[in-house]
Amino acid sequence: MRKTLVAGNWKMNGRVVQNDELVTTVLAGLAEQALTEQVDVMVFPPSVYIAQVEAATRESALSVGAQNLCEFADGAYTGELSAEMLVDVGCSAVLIGHSERRAMFGDDEQRVAEKVKAALVAGLTPVLCLGESLEQRDAEQTLSVVTEQFKSAVAGLKLPEITRLVLAYEPVWAIGTGRTATPEQAQEVHAHLRVLLAEYGQSVADTVRVLYGGSVNADNAAALFAQQDIDGGLIGGASLKAKDFLAICQAAAVGRDG
Ligand code: PEP
C-alpha cells in the first residue's frame, strides 16, 4: 500500500527566525506522535532557505524540497537553479508545474516536461502539479485538462521514471481561496489519474502517490485523505502554521483507515 505523503509548500513566505520556530515545532510534534512511521512529510521552503531547513532537519525524517528548478544544466542562466544544485544542498524533491508558475512565470507544458526530465536525471522526485481552472471545471473539461497536463509531462519518460513521480491534483480555483474540492470531486479526478497511470502498468498505478492540494486545512484534511485514491496532500497556507500542519499530518497518518 502507498504510504501517505504530506508536502508543505511555503511559497514565497518565511524569514530565518520564523523558519526555525516553524521547523522546530513541526519536528517536535512529528516525533511526539511518531507520525513519520505512517506518513512521509516534506517541506518546500523558498530556495534561499533550503540550506537552513536542510541543516535543521538533517537528523530527522522530515525531507526538504525546492519549489522550482531550471530545466537546463549548470551554465549561463542568471537567477536560475539547476537540479544538480538542489541535490547538492540536500533536496530530495521539487515542485513542478504549480499553477502559480504556470500562470505567472511561463511554465507551459513543454517547459514542465523538460523540468520533470531534469529533476529525474538528477535523482530528484518531481511533484508534478496538475489542475483545472474554474472556467474549465464549469465547462466540464476537468478530466480532459488533467489528462493533457499529465500526458504531455510524461511523454518522453521511460517506465521506471514515471514510477518515480508524485502527482498533485490541485484545482486552480481551490488554491489559496479557502474553497476546497469536496472529497467526492477530488476522488473523481484522482481515480481518473490512477486510470491514466495504469496505462503504464498496474504497478505504476499502485506505486505513484497522488496528492490533493487546494485549501486543505486541519478541519477538511481527514475527509479528503479518507478517499481511496487520495494519498496525502500538498499544503500551502496551512503549512506555515505548525499546529495546523501537524493536524494535517495526523489526518494523513490515519488516512483511509479514518
Ligand atoms: C499550494 O500552494 O499548492 C496550495 C495548495 O495552497 P493552499 O493550501 O494555500 O490552497
Would you say residue 39 has pLDDT above 90?
yes
Which residues is 93 bridged to in the sheet? 65, 125
Res 47: pLDDT: 98
**CA 41 to chain CA mean position, Å:** 10
Q: Is the pLDDT of residue 213 over 80?
A: yes
What are the DSSP calls for 100-124, one per residue? HHHHHS---HHHHHHHHHHHHHHTP
Using a 6 Å cutoff on CB, does residue 214 contact ligand 1?
yes
CA of 233 relative to ligand 1 center, distance in Å: 9
- The C-alpha atoms of residue 115 and residue 97 are separated, in whole angstroms, by 9
Residues recognised as catalytic: 98, 170
Pick from 257, 242, 256, 250: which is nearest to 43 by CA?
242
Our measurement of the distance from residue 67's CA atom to the centroid of its chain's CA atoms, rounded to an integer in Å, reads 9
Superfamily of domain 4-257: Aldolase class I (3.20.20.70)
Q: Which atom of ligand 1 is nearest to the CA of 98?
A: 3
Measured in Å, residue 76 CA sits from the centre of ligand 1 at 32
What is the pLDDT confidence band of residue 242, given thresholds at 50, 70 and 90? very high
Any ligand 1 atom below 6 A from CB of 215: yes
Q: What is the pTM of this model?
A: 0.97
Compute how many other C-beta atoms are within 10 angstroms of the C-beta atom of residue 133: 16
* Band of residue 256 on the pLDDT scale cut at 50, 70, 90: confident
pLDDT of res. 257? 72
> Tell me, what's the pLDDT at 258?
63
Q: What is the mean pLDDT of residues 93-106?
A: 98
Instruction: List the one residue out of 118, 115, 141, 138 whose CA is nearest residue 128.
Output: 115
pLDDT of residue 1: 80
Number of the ligand 1 atom closest to the C-alpha atom of 177: 10
Q: Where are the domains of the chain?
A: 4-257
Q: What is the pLDDT of residues 4-24, one digit of tens each?
A: 999 999 999 999 999 999 999
171 touches ligand 1 (CB under 6 Å): no
Cell numbers of 176, please? 489559496
Residue 163 has pLDDT above 90, yes or no: yes
Q: Write out the H or E segment, with its range, that includes residue 34.
A: none
- Going by alpha carbons, the residue nearest to atom 1 of ligand 1 is 236
Average pLDDT score over residue span 80-98: 98
**Res. 158 pLDDT band, cuts 50 70 90:** very high
96-100, 106-110, 176-180, 182-186: which has the minimum mean pLDDT? 176-180
Model confidence over 220-236: pLDDT tens digits?
Answer: 999 999 999 999 999 99
Q: What percent of the chain has pLDDT over 70?
A: 100
Average pLDDT over residues 145-156: 97
CA gap 31, 37 in Å, rounded: 10
